[in-house]
Amino acid sequence: MEETSAGGLVVREAGGVAQVALIARVNRAGRLEWCLPKGHLEGEETPVEAAVREIAEETGILGEPVRPLGTIDYWFTAEGRRIHKTVHHFLLRATGGRLGVEGDPDAEAVEAAWVPAPELERRLAFPNERRIARAAGDLLGDGG
pLDDT in tens, 94-119: 999 999 999 888 888 999 999 999 99
Residue 16 falls in which region: left (phi positive, over 0), alpha (psi -120 to 50) or beta: left
- Determine the Cα–Cα distance for residues 136 and 125; give it in Å rounded to an integer: 17
The rounded radius of gyration (Å) of the Cα atoms in the chain is 14
Q: In this predicted model, what pLDDT tens digit does every residue of 41-95 receive, in sequence order?
A: 999 999 999 999 999 999 999 999 999 999 999 999 989 999 999 999 999 999 9
- What is the structure's pLDDT at 138? 63
pLDDT at 144 over 80: no
